[in-house]
Amino acid sequence: MSGSVEQVARPRRTGGRAAQMAARAAAKPEAQRAVRAGMSGGQYRPLSEADVLRIHEAALQALEVIGLANAPASGVEILTGAGAILGDDGRIRFPRALVEDMLAVAARDLTLHGRDPAYDLHLSGTRVHFGTAGAAVHIVDPVTGNYRDSTARDLYDAARLAHHLDNIHFFQRTMVCRDVTDNYDMDVNTLYACLSGTTKHVGTSFSEPGHFAGCMELIHMVAGGEEAWRARPFVSNSNCFVVPPMKFAEESCITMEHCVRAGMPVLLLSAGQAGATAPAPLATTIVQAVAECLSGVVYVNAMKPGHPAIFGTWPFVCDLRTGAMSGGSAELGLLSAGCAQMHQFYGLPGGAAGGISDSKLPDMQAGWEQGITNLLAGLSGLNLVYESAGMHASLLGFCLPSLVLGDDIIGQVLRCVRGIEVTEDSVSIEVMKDVCLGGPGHYLGADQTLRLMETEYVYPKVGNRMSPKEWVEAGRPGLMDRAMARTDAILSQAPCQVASDIDRAVRGAYNIHF
């Protein structure tokens, strides 16, 4: 991954220490970084093997007995043509054998492409990637605490910022462009703000099926033609094809069909809320999410076997005292980790939520909520952790400096995911002998320490590790001050990621608002 375009200025000692700090701040090749995209998790498993099998069996039973309602006519034709059963009550039911057949041909070990191949995401096993998502309707000012309507420019800035944050591995739209009143123009601006800001993999959605064709033409313009796009599809569709509990979303299903035919990867997204639109027991919440996503696996693979699709069991939590969504709860972290185990059971690439905060501002509550849920998701080996940074007020607000803070949090999470490597070299006592038997009595200057300080350890970009004396001498810098400074420094230097001639052509063909 590319390094950040800046390093926030801070007081430094002179001489060798300053040179060492400058070297640490410089961008490093991917292989030399202590943490990186796609490291393997799987250390945390809240479900036993017996639990996983029980959830699987319950999901298959739900598909056979309950089924899903409200499939569009095209979906009914596709699903019944594959062997699903349309009941007199209008519900589509899925025989166990049909689900198993479609699981057998579903895409595995797939790659989500970036426009820049350096940002390709290889989804297999327990490889973990963190990114953004959400549809916040407000932008949060961390200084005043004010919330205002989010704009297309805000989304573009978020994409530019994410492009230069090493631990944000993909960018799915974070905000609604509320300054764009026409729904088609909003879909266009959402898509183009993301593509203009980053060459990492982009996720987007379409408010109506009729908007898909025009947006696809825009994607072909950026890709350099349809053939180039189909060779490396760098945009995926976040598709809420179900409305929990156990109903298809008709228009979203039609959009999904368009995506499959156009070669666009799809995120099969089931987003029930435990205690509201999903059952209150966490285990049964997972059952429902798995059943709904398995119906999507059948749907997609009945159209095109092996089409790239992400198993998007994405359950949320309802605060049962108020009925409000709780995105930062420990229960959400548990659900995402349990869903990761189900993805691994099926051998399918999967995604779920992590890193959401219920706090309205990037404060201590936001820190613990983001840290806990991201850590559980990462340690579980969730392939794609969505909404992992920047999201506040249970997805209603997005904060740019909070995205920068989230990059630091995810860096620490990834270090936990990486774990402790025990090798012949790492447990050798030779260095201990050199230090303890006639040596200096400490390891600070040892060759091994200097060699490992960048590959074994992760250092925060804005987190403060100064001593109290150094902190006072530096003017008592606050965490938010540093996050805002880094945000401003990145945005002041981050260019548009679409070539100028293509940008002019896009702006000539579409009503771009930023």
Q: Residue 20: its pLDDT value, please?
A: 52
Per-residue CA distances from 369 to 95, 313, 380 (Å) = 40, 20, 17
Q: What is 108-277+305-419+498-509's CATH number, 3.20.20.480, 3.30.360.10, 3.30.300.30, 3.40.50.300?
A: 3.20.20.480
CA distance 17 to 23: 10
> Contact, 55 vs 490, CB < 8 A?
no
User: What mean pLDDT comes out for the span 235-255?
Assistant: 98
Q: What is the DSSP letter of 88?
A: T
Least confident of 14-28, 145-159, 234-248: 14-28
Q: What is the DSSP letter of 2?
A: P
Confidence check: pLDDT of 225 > 70: yes
CA distance 371 to 123: 23
Task: Please state the domain extents for the chain.
Answer: 108-277+305-419+498-509
Global pTM value: 0.94
Q: Residue 3: its pLDDT value, please?
A: 46
Q: Which residues contact 151 (CB under 8 A, 6 or more apart)?
A: 139, 175, 177, 178, 179, 513, 514
CA distance 194 to 513: 13
Q: What is the SS3 assignment for 128?
A: strand
CA distance 484 to 462: 10
CA distance 175 to 151: 8
Confidence check: pLDDT of 6 > 90: no
Q: Residue 257: its pLDDT value, please?
A: 98
DSSP 206-275: -SSGGGHHHHHHHHHHHHTSHHHHHHS--EEEEE--B-SSSBB-HHHHHHHHHHHHHT--EEEEE--EET
Mean pLDDT of the chain: 94
Sign of CA dihedral 321, 325, 326, 332: positive
Confidence check: pLDDT of 11 > 60: no
| Greatest distance between any 2 Cα atoms in the chain | 86
200-210 pLDDT, tens digit each: 999 999 999 99
CA distance 192 to 215: 9
75-116 pLDDT, tens digit each: 999 999 999 999 999 999 999 999 999 999 999 999 999 999
Question: No. of H helices and E strands in the chain?
Answer: 18, 20
Q: Phi and psi of 386, rounded to 5°?
A: -90, 160
> Contact, 256 vs 241, CB < 8 A?
yes
> Contact, 270 vs 313, CB < 8 A?
yes
CA distance 239 to 11: 48
345-367 pLDDT, tens digit each: 999 999 999 999 999 999 999 99
Q: Residue 9: its pLDDT value, please?
A: 42
The β-bridge partners of 148 are 139
DSSP 22-63: HHHHS---GGGSSS-TTEE-----SS-HHHHHHHHHHHHHHH
Q: What is the SS3 assignment for 345?
A: helix
281-313 pLDDT, tens digit each: 999 999 999 999 999 999 999 999 999 999 999
Which of 11, 4, 33 has its CA nearest to residue 453? Answer: 33
367-419 pLDDT, tens digit each: 999 999 999 999 999 999 999 999 999 999 999 999 999 999 999 999 999 99
